Amino acid sequence: MNFDIRANRVSLKLPRRPVSGTGAMLVVLTLAGVACGPKNAQIPQIGELEADRVLFDRGSAALDEGDWRPARQYFVEIRDNYPQSQYRAAARLGIGETYEQEGTYEGYVRALAEFQDFLSLYPTHPRAAFAQYKVGMVHFHQMRRAERDQSSTLDAVREFENFLSTYPNAQELLPEVQSRLREALDRLSAHDFTVGHFYYRFGMFAGAISRFRQIVDEDPDYTRRDEVFFYLAESLAGRGEVTEAIPYFARILDEFDSSEYAADAQVRISDLEAQRETAQDR
């Protein structure tokens, strides 16, 4: 038995005689309605030969094509009506992915519940690592800009770190998780930098120094460390702590020779050294 994985096709036979203006408009609207109508899943009868496999293949194809609703219908059918199917666990993951890929707040809430349910029901399943990765990705998708609240970013970091500690041998996913974790950590450090730079702009150097040093101490691999070094050094210099400032300018030259701050750092080192020598001569 052959099954068409695409939505139903409707064939309309147009009349041979000329159509009035109103009739022509109705035909056009009818065709438009057919073309734009939502796709529906074609569900085989329970008990048909390999119906669960057919459902899974159709759901996977619809998921690949971005047809979230019919894909979810296929996967839900397996989950609810084929308790012994070998595809049931994977169908649960598919349901979560359809919600995740919708990209809505409600979708993320439902996706998170599906992936967490999978981990509770199948903790030793070969795809448990994938489910944990998806839990992290649901939070990752909801991360906000650096100047906004970072609750989702913190959740993403927690779940990616959980992945690394729980599934250290999941080689296929490891590079992706490490990359996403770095992006999430960068977002947290960028948030701290934004706050620190605000303090710096208004001459509140103590607050700026505290935020910049927090990044240096807690996230030594932050992607934009050169920027942190520059404004930390400027904040220290603003407080008259010249001796402490110069090494941070020097680190830009040592570690980021192509940095956009390198030229200014070199100038500032010369200025501060001259300033320090003048102070010593007094």
- pLDDT score of 67 more than 60: yes
Q: pLDDT category, 44, cuts 50, 70, 90?
A: low
Whole-angstrom distance, CA of residue 241 vs CA of residue 58? 67
Whole-angstrom distance, CA of residue 256 vs CA of residue 261? 9
**Taking a C-beta distance cutoff of 8 angstroms, is the pair 128, 101 a contact?**
no
Single-letter amino acid, residue 4: D
CA torsion angle 65 163 179 115 (round to 10)? 20
The 8-class DSSP code of residue 144 comes to P
- pLDDT score of 181 more than 60: yes
**Taking a C-beta distance cutoff of 8 angstroms, is the pair 132, 162 a contact?**
yes
pTM: 0.81
Closest CA to 142 of 155, 129, 126: 155
pLDDT tens digits, one per residue of 107-165: 999 999 999 999 999 999 999 999 999 999 999 999 999 999 999 999 999 999 999 99
At 12, is the secondary structure helix, strand, or coil? coil
pLDDT tens digits, one per residue of 86-96: 999 999 999 99
Q: What pLDDT does residue 259 have?
A: 97
pLDDT tens digits, one per residue of 198-242: 999 999 999 999 999 999 999 999 999 999 999 999 999 999 999
Residue labelled with tokens 């200025």 = 271
